[in-house]
Amino acid sequence: MEAMRTQLSLAPLAGIETELLAVLAADTQTAKGPDAKPVPVLLTADPSVLAAAQAVLASGEFKADANETLLLHSPAGLAAKRLLLVGLGKQAKASASAVRNAAGTAVRFTKPRAIRELVFALPSTASPEPEAAPAVSEPAVAAPELKPAAPEPAAATPELKPAAPEPAAATPLPKPEEPAPAVPESKSAEQKVAEPVAKSVAPAPADAAPAPADAPLTPAVAVPAPAPAAPKPTIAVQYLPLLPPGPCTRAAVEGALIGDFDPDTYRSDRKDQSVLSFTVAAPADADKPTLEKAFAEGVILGESQNFTRSLVNEPGNKLTPTILARRSVQMSELVGLNCRTFSTDKLHDLKMGAFWSVSQGSAEPPALIVLRYEPAGVTEGPVLGLVGKGITFDSGGISIKPADNMEKMKYDMAGGAAMIGAMRAIALLKPKVRVIAVVCAAENMPSGTAQKPGDVQTAMPLEPGKPGKTIEVINTDAEGRMVLADGLTYARQLGATHLIDAATLTGACVVALGYANAGAFSNDDATFEKFNAALAASGEKFWRLPLGEEYAEQIKSDIGDIKNTGGRWGGASTAAEFLKVFVEDTPWIHLDIAGMAWIEDSKPYIAKGPSGVAVRSILEWVRSYQM
């Protein structure tokens, strides 16, 4: 499958020649009640686009609901062959996260229709009365590559050609229209990748304060319409978004890459429906360096999340602990990470009795994966420890799971995969903070050598010569916390001053939060606040759940220090209390992603299957500690 090519353009929308131009819309209706009808408004100031969509908006057919789509063929006045309207939902709730989903929706809309290129227009921030400005040549920004690639076929790159000017009456304005800026002559497809793309620049005020990433869309100055018999407020009133182009640019690229992923890897008749070219069309008045940085970040994060998804998608016979370790090494070599992998002997040397107890029932050896990111010149400050559960297949062991849905237990390594994907993004984005990742990979299988309920295992000691905690095994299917116990201890031994772990840990978390939020726990409010702030940029949903002495009481053992389950009630919190024993006073966050790691049903913006959840949030949390 050919990888999607992504690029950034600041060219006028009407002149972009492409198979499909996607434009966003929001519902500006604020009234409630059965008589309150949607008032959809296109989030663009381009008069040609507004004119092309005028009739369908006035018809009421399109309501601009979240991820709603409507396709117009051969739109008048546009060089694009098709115009796709994509809804963001209610204006007050629209955000960069909504833009991310809308971009994924646009990509997934094109895939089954054999449309291989599209241009996605960001919300416009232009003034309703733009000043005429001279055309300025700006280069298109291509996605960063890890190594040189062969030149792409010319036909896949959207051509940028001038369209015929639209009459001024298409978009009523309070003053006569200013002359449209000149559009330079179109280049050939080969020239467009390397040569400048024209844009009209309307400089923003130097002292303008940036809007937050999830700022709501709010109407700009309302332009009064004449008083016809049947007023059309969606065209006469130009509502312009206050979303900053930077976060929207990053979100759009992320959403496009995420939307292009499909899980049908092993179909013998698999059809290549990949989108070959995705162009983000940004407002001409946006700050170019800001857009370039956001665009590059979006590519890195989208590809890193898809890398995680590709690992989670693999069946257990194709991704054993050993193969997961090998793929981690291969990725690390590409992006410049230090990666070392170990197996059974190292577990015994470190006295990782909890980790080994899970793997001892399988013919597949375990893998201890250690990745390090050490930026040049950073020798002081925090060392962040990322710890992931990497159970590549979980049968439950002797406490075997029911047969129904057991095939999905290949994704029980999603926490470990999230840490590996996050480390990829960290290596490429290069934050000024040291990071260590530890992934404990194993299979949990029943056999004559498997651990049994009632066994007592000894976890890894933090320091040589000191005893490790003893764990009474009540249920062998509570294995994730066992491997994490040793993983967290090892990360501390390697020097981690702050910890975060991710795991598909408990069904109890899914019962509590459903499939809408993942669970989050922490023993330190300041550390959690950094993570909570990171969610504004990542757009992922985590809900903090409680820890406490009451839950700790439930996991006290009569024969050892603790037991690996605390009973039926409060299962997510008792599991987190189990892990807290091994972090002690180290600032720590635990992410229970059991309900969010696998998408049960396809959504307009993402395919059914692995989600890659937590990659973006972990990356943003790490960046919050930069020196």
In the chain, % helix, strand, coil (3-state, to 5) comes to 35, 20, 45
Q: Phi then psi for 418, rounded to 5 degrees?
A: -65, -40
Q: Quick one: angle between helices 414-429 and 615-623, nearest 10?
A: 40
Structure tokens at 167: 């009459």
Whether residue 575 contacts residue 506, with contact meaning beta carbons closer than 8 Å, is answered with: yes
Q: Is 481 a catalytic site residue?
A: yes
Strand 159-160 and strand 82-90: the pairing is unpaired
Identity of the amino acid at 58: A
Asked whether the CA dihedral 308, 311, 314, 316 is positive or negative, the reply is negative
Identity of the amino acid at 432: K
Give the CA dihedral 24, 30, 36, 40, nearest 10 degrees: -10
SS3 letters across 261-328: CCCCCCCCCCCCCCCCEEEEECCCCCCHHHHHHHHHHHHHHHHHHHHHHHHHHCCCCCCCHHHHHHHH
Among residues 357, 452, 446, which one has the least CA distance to residue 396? Answer: 446
Q: How far is CA 53 from CA 11, 75, 464, in A?
A: 20, 8, 71
CA 497/CA 436 separation, integer angstroms: 10
Q: Is 267 a catalytic site residue?
A: no
Whether residue 580 contacts residue 489, with contact meaning beta carbons closer than 8 Å, is answered with: no
Cross-strand bridge partners of residue 438: 370, 387
Whether residue 564 contacts residue 482, with contact meaning beta carbons closer than 8 Å, is answered with: yes
Q: Quick one: angle between helices 321-335 and 288-313, nearest 10?
A: 160
CA 291/CA 304 separation, integer angstroms: 20
Rg from Cα positions in the chain: 27
Structure tokens at 391: 């159970």
The CB density around residue 37, as the number of other CB atoms within 10 Å, is: 11
The C-alpha angle with vertex 423 and arms to 584 and 97, in degrees rounded to 5, equals 95
Q: Phi then psi for 373, rounded to 5 degrees?
A: -120, 115
- The conformational region for residue 82 under phi > 0 = left, psi -120 to 50 = alpha, else beta, is beta
User: Could you say which of 187, 232, 401, 541 is catalytic?
Assistant: 401
Q: What's the longest Cα–Cα distance across the chain?
A: 88
CA 328/CA 490 separation, integer angstroms: 19
User: Could you say which of 192, 309, 481, 616 is catalytic?
Assistant: 481
CA 77/CA 44 separation, integer angstroms: 15
Q: Quick one: angle between helices 480-493 and 571-583, nearest 10?
A: 30
CA 143/CA 361 separation, integer angstroms: 45
Identity of the amino acid at 547: L
Whether residue 261 contacts residue 306, with contact meaning beta carbons closer than 8 Å, is answered with: yes
CA 343/CA 366 separation, integer angstroms: 5
Structure tokens at 255: 């959403």
Whether residue 385 contacts residue 500, with contact meaning beta carbons closer than 8 Å, is answered with: yes
Question: What are the residue numbers of the active site?
Answer: 401, 481
